Amino acid sequence: MPGDTAAAAGSGAAAPEGPAAAPASTPAVPLGRIRRFVLAERLSHWLYALFFVVAFVTGLVMWIPSTRAALEGARLAFSQYHGYVGTAMVILPLLLFILLDRRRLFRDVREIDRWDGQDRRWLGLAFRGHTLRGRPMPPQGRFNAGQKLNVVLVAAMAIGFAASGGILMHKQDMSAWLVTRALWFHSFLAVVAIALFAGHLAHVFVTKHGRTYLAGMVRGWIPESLARERHERWWAEESDRRVV
Amino acid sequence: MASDEKHTDEKNIGRRTFLGLLVAGVVAFLFGKDVLPGLTTGSSPTATTVAGGGSTSTTAGGGSESTGTTKPAKSPTEGFRINSVKPAPAFDPATWKLTVDGLVAAPLTLDFAELTALPQTTVVRDFYCVEGWGVDQVEWKGVALSELMKRAQVDPKATHLLFHSSDGVYTDSLTIEQAGFEDSLLVHQVNGVQLPHDMGQPLRLIYPGHYGYKYVKWVERVEVLDIKESPFIGYWESYGYTSEATIH
C-alpha cells in the first residue's frame, strides 16, 4: 500500500503517491505530524457535510407544519431546491474525489472494506464502552473500526437518500404506493442520519481527541503522538516509509 | 511489527455490511411504513368515537348516517397533515353562505342549514396527498355536486366548475363531467364529525381517486364557466401541478 506521509509534501492530492515521489531532503510534513487526509478527501468530506446540512435544514422546514404553511406556494419550489441539493450531495463529493485523486479513493475504499481480527475486536470493545472509559484497545490502522463503520453507513444511506429522493422528485409520474413508501423511507433515513450526525459531532466536541481529529480533517495531518496512540499500525507503517 | 501481521485474517466486512444495509433498506422501504406509520403524518385533534363505515350511500334531507358498524376509537382526522397556503376566516353559521353562480339559469345562495337539508351522500375513500402521504378509508359526508348542478340548472355550454376558498387565494376546478361523478362532493363532515377548521370547515371539495390539492378547503363559491371564454388556472396548477391530479 503506498504511503503518503512523505508523498503529500504540502501539495495535497496533486502530489504523486508512493515513497519514490518524496525527495529524501524534503520531509512531507514537519516532524511530529503525520498526513492523514489528502486534499481530495478533505474537500469531498466538507462538500458532503455542507450539502447535508443544507438538505437537512430545507427538509426540516418542509416537515414542520408551521414553516411548511408559511412557505405557501413557494413550498413546491422549496422542495425542488431540496431535491437539487440532495442530488448534489450524492454526486458532487464523489465526482470531485474521482477527478482529483482516483487512486486515493480506491485506496480508501480498500481500507474501509478490509477488516481483520483487531478491527472486529476493536468494534466489539467499543460497543461495550471501552473507548469511552479509556481502556486499552486493539491497535488500529489509519481508520479505526468505528470510522470504517461510519463511512459504510453514510455510503449506504446516500444510496437510500438518492433512491427515495429520486422517486419523490418525480412523484407525479410514480404510483401512490411507491411515493408513500419513498416519503416514509426518506423521513426514516433523515432521522437516522441526524442521529449519526449528532454522534459524529459529539465525537468531535466531547471526546478527548475530537478537536485534533477535526483539525486533521481541515489541515490534513494529525500529531504523530495521536497516530501512535490511536492508529498504531498505520503509524508504524508510515514510520517505516518515512525518509529522514 | 504490525504490518507484517496484516492480511492474515482480513475479511471484506466493509462491503458485506454495505450490502447488508442495502438489503435492510429495501425491507424498510417495503414494510417500514406499515410498522411505523406516524413518521410521515402530522398530529391530530382529540380522539372521538366514529360511527359509520359504508362505502357510498345517500340519504334525504340531512338525515344522519349509521350502518351499524363502529370504527375503532380514534381521532376523526388521524393521519392527516394539515397543508394550507393561507389561513381562512373562522366559520360563523349565522353569516356563512355558499354561492353557486356563473353559467347557471338558477343561481343558488345557501346557508349552512339549507345545505345540510339537501340530500346527503356519504362515501368512504382513500386519501392521497401529492407529497407522498395518505390516509386509508376516510369517511366523508356532504352534498353531491351533481345535486347542486341540477338545482342551479347549469348551462350546457359550461365546461368547468371553479371552486373559490374563503382564504382568498386558493382555487381549483373540475370539469362538468368530473363534477358529475357520484363521489365528487362538497363535504361538511369527516369520519362522522364536522370538519375541523384547519380541514376546511364548513365545506370542502372532495374528488376521490385524485391528489388532495384538488380538495379545496373553505369553499364559499362555485363558479360555473366556460374555459374558452373565461380561462383560469388553479392555485397549484399555477405552480406546475397537473390539473388532472391523477393518482397512478
Chain B CB within 8 Å of residue A170 CB: no
CB < 8 Å to A183, chain B:
40, 131-133
From the list A76, A152, A160, the residue facing B17 with the nearest CB is: A152
Chain B CB within 8 Å of residue A66 CB: no
How far is B68 from A130, CA to CA, in rounded Å?
62
Q: Where are the domains of chain B?
A: 11-40, 45-239
Question: What is the number of CB-based contacts under 8 A between chain A and chain B?
Answer: 130
Among A23-27, A58-62, B123-127, which stretch is predicted with the lowest mean pLDDT?
A23-27
A contact residues 3-62, partner B, Cβ 8 Å cutoff: none
pLDDT band at A28 (very low <50, low <70, confident <90, very high): low
**B17, B43, B77, best to mutate vs chain A, most A CBs in 10 Å:** B17
Q: At what angle do helices A145-169 and B13-35 cross, to 10 degrees?
A: 50
- Only one residue has cell 357520484, namely B182
Nine-digit cell string for B84: 394550507
Please confirm whether the linkage preceding A27 is cis (ω < 30° from 0). no
Alpha-carbon gap: A98 to the closest alpha carbon of chain B (Å): 19
Residue B72, pLDDT > 80, answer no
Q: ∠ CA(A237), CA(A31), CA(A104), 5° rounding? A: 45
Assessment of whether the complete model's pTM goes beyond 0.90: no
Q: What pLDDT, on a 0 to 100 scale, did the predictor assign at position A108?
A: 97
Alpha-carbon gap: A187 to the closest alpha carbon of chain B (Å): 7
Fold designation for B45-239: Sulfite Oxidase; Chain A, domain 2 (3.90.420)
C-alpha distances (whole Å) from A96 to each of A13, A18, A47, A55 are 11, 22, 9, 19
Strands (DSSP E) found in B111-212: 120-128, 134-144, 160-165, 171-175, 185-190, 193-194, 204-206
Signed CA dihedral, A202, A203, A205, A207: sign only: positive
In the three-class reduction of DSSP (H, G, I as helix; E, B as strand; rest coil), residue B69 is classed as coil
Tell me, what's the ipTM?
0.83
Asked whether the beta carbons of residue B2 and residue A232 sit closer than 8 angstroms, the reply is yes
8 Å CB contact between A210 and A19? no
How far is B76 from A153, CA to CA, in rounded Å?
40
CB < 8 Å to B86, chain A:
72
Report which residue type is found at B7. Answer: H
A contact residues 192-211, partner B, Cβ 8 Å cutoff: none
Q: Of residues B118 and B88, which shows the higher confidence score? A: B118
Closest chain B residue to A1, measured at CA? B3
How far is A216 from A63, CA to CA, in rounded Å?
35
Please name which of B82, B90, B198, B67 lies closest in space to residue B139, comparing C-alpha atoms: B67
Please name which of B45, B206, B204 lies closest in space to residue B124, comparing C-alpha atoms: B206
Q: How many C-beta neighbours within 10 Å does residue B153 have?
A: 13
Per-residue pLDDT, averaged over B122-132, amounts to 91
Q: What is the pLDDT of residues A105-147, one digit of tens each?
A: 999 999 999 999 999 999 999 999 888 888 889 999 999 999 9
**B33, B171, B233, best to mutate vs chain A, most A CBs in 10 Å:** B33
Among A51-60, B49-58, B134-143, which stretch is predicted with the lowest mean pLDDT?
B49-58
A contact residues 78-107, partner B, Cβ 8 Å cutoff: none
